[in-house]
Structure 1
Amino acid sequence: MNYYMKHNIKTIGSLLILATVLVSVISCNKFLDRKPLSATYADINQGALESQSLGLYNTLRWAGFSTLPWIDFNSIRDDDAQKGSSLTDGAEINAEFETFKYTKDDWATNTYWNDHYSMINLCNTELHWADSLKATDPASLRNIGEAKFFRAYSFFELVKAYGQVPLINFYYTNPADGVKPKATIAQIYAQIDSDLDSASKLLPLNWVVAGTNTYPGRLTSGAANTLWAQTYLFRQQWSNVVALCNKVINSGQYSLATNFYDIWKDGLNGAGKNGPESIFEMQSFVGAAGANWNATQWGTSQNVRQGGADVSWNLGWGWNTPTSVLNNAWDNSDPRKNMTILFSGQSDGGPSQGGYGAVVPPYNAASPGSAGTLDQPFWNKKVYSDPSMRAYTGQINSSGGADWINHRILRYADVLLMLAEASNELGDGATAAANLEKIRARARGGNSSVLPPIPFVSQAQMRTAIKNERRWEFAMEGYRFYDLVRWTPAADGIDANTVLSPLGYTPRCQYYPIPQKAIDLSGGVLVQNPLW
């Protein structure tokens, strides 16, 4: 079965596929990990817009946000991640994203574009109804905050990927009204700022009711401020980054997980889900024997893949695998390395390294697909599935599934490293070093012989140290490509032009070409990006 058949290709029928998705906003499934039985709707104080807000979280499970298109745009364009899987599965993606031979009409870019604009349309619809209803009750105001967050999140993903894009920030029913030319990048960011300013004020600090986190994974003011800080980091507006990161820190709602590997544990006890470090994560749930499925294929798309007759280790599709560049560059003394990279032909490290005591089949470079072997030498351990969950859900090895794994979208470690980076750029080396040390201290896990503290010596020295720390801390999570882009050009050579040029990157590759189908359907109103 080829890549397009296997991964449920969508037919692109209009510029943004907006009108056809309106019906889905009312029909959301059970929210996230479900309302606890002890809570009543009176406790939660549902607003008139509740069903529409819950539909936005459901939309976050679409492919453009949670599986292959997101991975293509955010992860495998860097030097540390590659397509993975088998040689033949999605071979064209290897050329388009790994070697920067972008195309204008690929499934991945069409899906990424359409899914994000579909989310924007759903947000616009909810905000239109909020205005029509003149909704001012507390629950509805929280719903408005959710819609504004998701609209900002979608525009931020689009502006990073494509640069100038249409600014569709209004409700309409006539599809022709949604055909707009590209707005400037400054105009897109102005909309993002406006939405996140509102979201940060309207969203609650948490969703605790009577001591219980009523809606695990639901948006908070901390999520809005963290995303907003990310957008300012991308624009190098350092003072705003510092202010927003300090808001998140001073809220007292978050802390680093004690052990790095704990973050990724999605077992029966759910130890890693929605932990103290989680600011926002996409929720996935699969019950016993597959019951009450309300999940994504985030984990499935990246887990170990085994082809051929032997499928005892076929845990997923095998995308987004570490490269030899990452393995060779990463010092073996950093405990995070063995908690991030799962090595073919070796023990998975056991519980102290995020494993389960299994021995991974060997890599066979000479004969891919041979019985008892794997097609890749390295795998993304941050989505390595728990055997007890495979048995519990019925997604046993041969079925190639891990649909219960959450996507950690925003975590507290990023807040600390953003604060470190921005403080350093503002000349506050002490704050930069202190926050860098918080990350390294957690990573060393009490072993003082590794990852020694890095004192501030100079702004340039600290800048490079923070860049390297982001590489190790967030490996395989989809940060590095856009980090390299925003650091370009850089005197230390840690930038997109220097690091990615051996893979085929040139300055025009910062932005992906606008999908040709979107241009055609606009009747020429939408124009292609420069140099494409």
Structure 2
Amino acid sequence: MKKLFFVFAVVLLSACEDFLDEPVRSKPTLTEIFSSQESVEAFVNGAYDGIMENDWWQINFFRQITDMATDDCWAGNTEQSRPDILTIAHYDNVDVGSTYFMNFWNYQFRGITRCNLIIQEMDNVDFDEDLKNRYKGEAKFLRARFYFELVKNFGGVPIITTFDELLKSEIREYVRQPEAEVWAVIEQDLIDAAELLPLKSEYASKDLGRATKGAAQAYLAKAYLFQEKWQEAADMANEVITSGEYQLETSFDDVWSVTNPNGVESIFEVQYRSDPTFRIGGVFGVTTGSREDGGWSWCVPTSNLEQAYLEEGDNIRLRNTIIKHGEPVYGDPEVTEFDAGLSRNKSARINRKFYIPTEYRETPYSPRNLPLNHILMRYADLLLIYAEASHFAGNEGEALAKLKMVRDRVNLTTDMSLTGDALRDAIWKERRLELALEQHRLYDLRRQKVNGVPRIATVMGPEGSFVKYNTQESTDEFELGNLREKQSKGATFDVDKHILWPIPHSEIVLTEGRIEQNPNY
């Protein structure tokens, strides 16, 4: 049986074969490939590509499906019959053989393989030691992110930390390691990366978007948060806060503005350059956009999310988060009555954060090649990580102070007498309002617990608040007027099954069952 990832390694080292008309007489060795500073930089740049592969359907769309599986979003597109998406978004006979799980799994391990190769071979190349350390820090940061994506979606996974290990092992020999061991790898990689990487302010403008010390520390704080290591999470988040490298944008309008790439709030951000000729650029504005505006109407906001903003009196974030059919588009004076495509969009709403205003669109408009960068970690998220961790660590004064900072920006008052569960709930609610549609909600609902029960079990399931809202309470004319996506989304959620996604069936087959499936799939 072929060795795990060996096929990938061969493809990587002999990519030029397809362009030759005669047999290949030799293949370069790793030493020959890693022969210069330029070759190392090329491999590091290639590792970044694994975060957001340019093929939208490979991994980007899976992240949107995870948002569809929450109370923030419907699957949305009611024109196309896509049971492969709906079964995941609705927790209804989730397919363990779904290409979305398989591709996401494979692309994370592809990224890990690239990082392992860089870390292993870099020391054999003679060039500036400071730059070499930075590249090593970038590779360790990226490897940690790939494992972070795997563990939060699938739980324990195989751990491979050297390239040689791949070449020596048969695929059938691999087994899943416990979650705690995966988290330990993530923690150590981020600790190492933070020691090796420069601050954001120390990068030249041409290098903006690369991993930084602050990004490594912010992700380490989040890794601690996921494991309920409250004091460690608070301490690490505070390292980022006190560094002075980041601050909240003065106006919430600027957070996701196409005119504000790598803004003061951005901690880690995927860089997109629009170039229709080479078909490069962002895709989120297309997949979430109206079908009447060149989009596909997937992952559309729910009226339940809109109600959360209205109940809070949170008009600033509402207008920057949701575009509603028949209403003006905030920040786009050319669109006074938006057409969301009622018959083709479950909620008649779309995501404002990924929308490109008319004046900033290319001519001709090429909606698959958008110039909007994608923010993966921002300062408001970090402040709320600090607030939540501080609350659970017993420092409610600090928790309140950081909660107030986030709310002050959008002109909302904060009850400074909050304590105990009321403070906890306020922080959790703030995460929803602040970070909606940015692909955090599912993982927050899974990790947050009340009396030991994951919150998602109180939102989804036959007695879940979201299911009851849609089937018993909602009066929303748009959602109730388009029942081609079932109103009972989430009713079949099972907390004993759906707290993780299934391990791709192909991995279980290839390892002859040594990689075991998650419970009840």
How high is the TM-score relative to the length of structure 2? 0.83
| Alignment correspondent of 2:47 | 56
Deviation at 1:120, TM superposition (A): 0.7
User: What's the CA shift for 1:317?
Assistant: 2.3
The secondary structure found in structure 2 opposite 1:319 is: coil
Preserved CA contact (<8 Å) 2:193 2:213: yes
* Structure 1 partner of 2:254: 262
Distance across 2 between alignment mates of 1:403 and 1:471: 26
Offset from partner CA, 1:436-467 (integer Å, 9 cap, x none): 011001112xxxxxx21221332211101101
| Structure 1 residues 242-321: aligned runs within 5 Å | 242-266=234-258, 271-287=259-275, 290-291=276-277, 294-306=280-292, 313-314=293-294, 316-321=295-300
CA distance in 2, matches of 1:61, 1:18: 23
Query: Offset at 1:96?
Result: 2.0
CA distances 1:70-98 after superposition (whole Å, capped 9, x unpaired): 2223x111111122223425343112223
Note closer, same or farther for the CA distance 1:203–1:16 as it changes in structure 2 (3 Å cut).
same
Q: Secondary structure at the match of 1:145?
A: helix
Within the candidate set 495, 498, 523, 2:455 is matched to: 495
1:336 equivalent to 2:317? Answer: yes
Contact 1:18 1:121 in 2 (8 A): no
Residue 204 in structure 1 maps to residue 183 in structure 2: no
**Residue identity in the other structure for 1:49:** V
Q: 1:207/1:252 Cα in 2 relative to 1: closer, same or farther (>3 Å)?
A: closer
1:238-279 Cα distance to aligned partner (Å, 9 max, x none): 11111111111111111101111211111xxxx321000000
How big is the shift at 1:138? 0.8
Could you say what secondary structure the match of 1:280 adopts? strand
Alpha-carbon distance in structure 1 between the residues aligned to 2:46 and 2:82: 30
Measured in 1, the distance between the counterparts of 2:50 and 2:340 equals: 37
CA 1:490–1:346: 2 relative to 1, 3 Å: farther
Q: Does 1:168 align with 2:160?
A: yes
Aligned partner letter, 1:50: E
- Higher mean Cα deviation, 480-489 or 377-386? 480-489
Task: Give 5+ residue unaligned stretches, structure 2.
Answer: 16-35, 462-466, 468-489
Cα displacement (A) at 1:220: 0.2
Partner of residue 473, structure 1: 434
Which whole-Å CA distance do the structure 2 matches of 1:81 and 1:14 have between them?
Answer: 41
Equivalent pair of 2:74/2:347 in contact (CA under 8 Å): no
Q: CA deviation at 1:23?
A: 4.9
Structure 1 residue 304: deviation in Å?
2.1
SS of equivalent residue, structure 1 residue 359: coil
Equivalent residue number for residue 528 of structure 1: 517
Deviation of 1:359 (Å): 2.8
The whole-number CA distance in structure 2 between the counterparts of 1:89 and 1:265 is: 33
- Alignment correspondent of 1:35: none
Counterpart check, 1:457 vs 2:457? no
> 1:499–1:524: structure 2 CA closer, same or farther, 3 Å change rule?
same
Question: Could you say which residue in structure 2 is the equivalent of 1:6?
Answer: none
Partner of 2:329: 348
Q: Does 1:234 align with 2:226?
A: yes
- 5 Å-filtered alignment, 1:424-443, equals 424-443=391-410
Kept after mapping to 2: 8 A contact 1:514/1:529 = yes
TM-score normalised by structure 1 residue count:
0.81
Deviations 1:296-324 (A, max 9, x none): 42332222223xxxxxx22x222211012
Q: CA deviation at 1:135?
A: 7.2
Q: Could you tell which deviates more after superposition, 217-226 or 420-429?
A: 420-429
| Structure 1 gaps, min length 5 | 1-12, 28-44, 307-312, 445-450
Equivalent positions of 1:49-448 (< 5 A) are 49-62=40-53, 63=56, 67-73=60-66, 75-133=67-125, 137-172=129-164, 174=167, 176-178=169-171, 179-206=173-200, 208=202, 212-266=204-258, 271-287=259-275, 290-291=276-277, 294-306=280-292, 313-314=293-294, 316-331=295-310, 333-334=313-314, 335-349=316-330, 351=331, 355-362=332-339, 365=342, 368=343, 376-392=347-363, 394-396=364-366, 400-444=367-411
Contact 2:4 2:170 in 1 (8 A): no
CA distance in 1, matches of 2:136, 2:370: 29
2:84–2:95 contact (8 Å) kept in structure 1: no
Mapped contact 1:145–1:203 kept (Cα < 8 A): yes
Q: Quickly say closer, same or farther: Cα 1:265–1:25, change in 2 above 3 A.
A: farther
**C-alpha separation in 2, matches of 1:46 and 1:132:** 11
The one-letter amino acid of 1:514's match is: I
Measured in 2, the distance between the counterparts of 1:494 and 1:184 equals 20
Percentage identity across paired residues of the two chains = 29
Secondary structure of the 1:336 match is: helix
| CA–CA separation in structure 2 for the residues paired with 1:327 and 1:402 | 29
Query: For structure 1, which segment, 455-464 or 408-417, has the greater mean C-alpha deviation from structure 2 after superposition?
Result: 455-464
Task: State the distance in 1 between where 2:289 and 2:12 align.
Answer: 29
Q: Letter of the aligned partner of 2:112 in structure 1?
A: I
Report which stretch shifted further, 120-129 or 168-177: 168-177
Partner amino acid, structure 1, of 2:335: A
Taking the aligned partners of 2:13 and 2:60, their CA distance within structure 1 comes to 21
SS in 2 for 1:272: coil
Kept in 1, the 8 Å contact 2:144–2:186? The answer is yes
Amino acid paired to 1:528: Q
Q: Which amino acid aligns with 1:272?
A: N
Are residues 142 and 19 of structure 1, via their aligned partners in 2, closer, same or farther at CA, if it must alter by over 3 Å? farther
Q: Secondary structure at the match of 2:268?
A: strand
Q: Which amino acid aligns with 1:69?
A: F
Moved more, 240-249 or 98-107: 98-107
The one-letter code matched in structure 1 to 2:380 is A
Alignment of 1:25-36 (within 5 A): none
SS at match of 1:410: strand
Q: Would the alpha carbon gap of residues 347 and 189 (structure 1) be closer, same or farther in structure 2, given more than 3 Å must change?
A: same
Distance 1:376 1:25 in 2: 48
Provide the aligned C-alpha RMSD in A: 2.7
**1:324 and 1:358, CA in 2 relative to 1: closer, same or farther beyond 3 A?**
same
What letter matches 1:213 in structure 2? S
